[in-house]
Structure 1
Amino acid sequence: MLPSGVLWSDLPVTSDAPLLAHGSPEPPDTAHDVALLDLDGVLYVGPDAVPGAAAALERARAAGMRLGFVTNNAARTPQEVADHLTQLGMPAERGDVITSSQAAATVVAERFGQGAAVLPVGGAGVATALREAGLRVVERAEDAPVAVVQGYGRDVGWTQLAEAVVAVRAGAVHVATNTDATIPSPRGVLPGNGALVGVVAAVTGQQPLVTGKPDPAMHAECVRRTGARSPLVVGDRLDTDVEGGRRVGVPTMLVLSGVTTPADLLAARPQARPDLVAADVSGLDHPHPPVRAVDGGWTCGAWTAMATDGGLELTQADGGTDDGTDGVTDDGLDGLRALCVAHWADHPDDAAPARVRAGAGSGAGGSLARWGLGEG
């Protein structure tokens, strides 16, 4: 925890923040006062709650943690998001939610002033945020918008994209609420806002101004609103949630309930490596073990990972179990934690895919198969 009177946002961003190796000796919901929670892939996937998410948030609140909901999904208004969360058993109020549409509207209003004409592309949340920021919403390029704000919307099609292209080519600034290429769904990953932003950028030849995560504006705004002194960013994406948290100097917890796979985590760029990793948001309510250096490798619980000429090798101590239990956590991820730190220590300044194998005579093969890693 930070000293009394010091806000996390007052501290300088540093590049040497602890990344996974330090763990968390006490549960994050007691070590941090506020969780800045992503939504898609963390609390729900499509219309349905992630199993156990509601109970996990209830335990976090009971431990004294406050919750802020931070989403790159620009389609819905904050009230609609709060209503959806409440219906899923995760009570939320409008003021608890900050969307990428709100961040984009703030940026445009600050740049062009109240009353400026803006063309929205996306769901209802985009136009609503623009109006609430005092901007004038227009529907056609011929209305001479100073900016095009493009966010996710399930019904975005050729007509809206074409209008955006005409407006940008006529001089409007192209603002993207976010560039997430995909969104999670019960059917698997689907095209996200970034895929459609790419269409406009490809035709106009201009790259957009991006205001959502990982831009620090969203997390910084949520820290300001909550008065957080020791916040924790929780998300399922490396390139938005984790990198966004690191850009404002806030620790991060990656959950594997959304789009990021263990292979993606191993290959993370240095600026997108989390401080903690958990199977899902229930990782808020238990300690996370450290990963310690040992001769030739790194150990976490009953697991040891070593970087060799042939890649990474994971072994298990005699008497260990294949579920990762070490007396501190029973989430089955200790071996993955050891692999990550071993690989990142071997690649401190660059991202690289990892080749992983089970050590001879080790029981690690089952865990590697469960994580979609290695040769078994």
Structure 2
Amino acid sequence: MPDRSDRLLDAYDVLLLDLDGVVYLGPEPVPGAPAHLARARAAGVALAFVTNNAGRTPGQVAEQLTRLGIPAAPGDVVTSAQAAAGLLAEQLEPGSAVYLLGGAGLEEALLAVGLRPVTEPDGGAVAVVSGFGPQMPWQRVVDGAILIGAGLPWVAANTDASFPTDRGTGPGHGALVDLLTRFTGVVPTVAGKPHTPLFAETLKRFPGARALMIGDRLDTDIAGARAAGIDALLVLTGVDGPEQAAAAPPALRPDFVGPDLSVLFGSAAAARREVPPARGSTVVSAAHGTVAP
């Protein structure tokens, strides 16, 4: 065991945790994740579950985590829908109508910040918000596109290109963003990872905290943390592995790499990546050793 003064976990007050690939894999928890997270909580570190998923409410996410053996309350969950609603609340008068291109997650988030979601084109909307909403009728998409083209501000919860289903990978909300952008010529303000509003929304709940982002994807989790000025840990239980980390450009390189969440209880020095500027990057991982470019 490392000396506690060098234990990675002890340098932080809050862990910002991506979900799929870090905490769970589909319907099952990542092996060991419930025990590792319970141990982190017992050490006094707060947990924030940070997700680009805008379709589900924080309560639904918290229920899933609790079923998987990771007790969570809605307040522990931060979604891209909440970040998008927060951006609009900063720009609009309380009670303003916002045209909703999304599902329950976005609707709840808008109501929580005092905005009024509408789904009719003549509902007095002064802005448009979009997110994952698989049950949306096509007519709502058409009407939303017309409103965006007419000049209403547009905030997108995320630009995720895909999402997993039990029948394979399906097109995510990013596909709708691409369609609307091609049609209107308008590029939305994006709230979710790798953009910074989701990180800002999360850190509002932990003012002054020392935060560590933990993710499995370089292009969203790690890039977003770097852009937000937050330390980042790549765990190798999801999408990206040591080879991708070694080849990553500076904007996508994590501060630490580990096999899974157990790395939190090991030496920070062993998990820290060194990136010699003259010859590329080197990944240091307790499980994978050193991977040279």
Q: How does 1:259-270 map to 2 (within 5 A)?
A: 259-270=239-250
Aligned partner of residue 41 in structure 1, secondary structure: coil
Q: 1:39 touches 1:71 (CA, 8 Å); kept in 2?
A: yes
Which of residues 129, 138, 154 is equivalent to 2:109? 129
Structure 1 residue 162 displacement after superposition: 2.1
Query: Are 1:284 and 2:239 counterparts?
Result: no
1:335 equivalent in structure 2? 290
Identity level (%): 46
2:65 equivalent in structure 1? 85
Paired residue total: 285
RMSD (CA atoms)? 2.7
Query: Are 1:205 and 2:185 counterparts?
Result: yes
1:196 equivalent in structure 2? 176
Residue type of the alignment partner of 1:202: R
Gaps of 5+ in 1: 1-23, 302-323, 344-376
Q: How does 1:268-347 map to 2 (within 5 A)?
A: 268-288=248-268, 289=270, 329=286, 331=287, 333-336=288-291, 339=292, 343=293
Gaps of 5+ in 2: none
Q: 1:45 touches 1:184 (CA, 8 Å); kept in 2?
A: no
Larger radius of gyration: 1
Write out per-residue CA displacement over residues 303-329 of structure 1, whole angstroms, 9 at most, x where no aligned residue: xxxxxxxxxxxxxxxxxxxxx8xxxx3
Structure 1 residue 68 displacement after superposition: 1.2
CA distance in 2 between counterparts of 1:54 and 1:112 reads: 40
CA distance in 2 between counterparts of 1:300 and 1:111 reads: 42
Q: 1:211 touches 1:217 (CA, 8 Å); kept in 2?
A: yes
Q: How does 1:51-200 map to 2 (within 5 A)?
A: 51-156=31-136, 158-184=138-164, 189-200=169-180
CA distance in 2 between counterparts of 1:187 and 1:238 reads: 25
1:50 equivalent in structure 2? 30
Evaluate the alpha carbon distance shift between residue 283 and residue 81 of structure 1 in structure 2; reply closer, same or farther with a 3 A threshold.
same
CA distance in 2 between counterparts of 1:165 and 1:297 reads: 44
Q: 1:40 touches 1:184 (CA, 8 Å); kept in 2?
A: no
Evaluate the alpha carbon distance shift between residue 334 and residue 158 of structure 1 in structure 2; reply closer, same or farther with a 3 A threshold.
farther
**TM-score, normalising length: structure 1:** 0.68
CA distance in 1 between counterparts of 2:273 and 2:249 reads: 19
1:28 equivalent in structure 2? 8
Evaluate the alpha carbon distance shift between residue 297 and residue 213 of structure 1 in structure 2; reply closer, same or farther with a 3 A threshold.
closer
Evaluate the alpha carbon distance shift between residue 261 and residue 291 of structure 1 in structure 2; reply closer, same or farther with a 3 A threshold.
closer
**TM-score, normalising length: structure 2:** 0.86
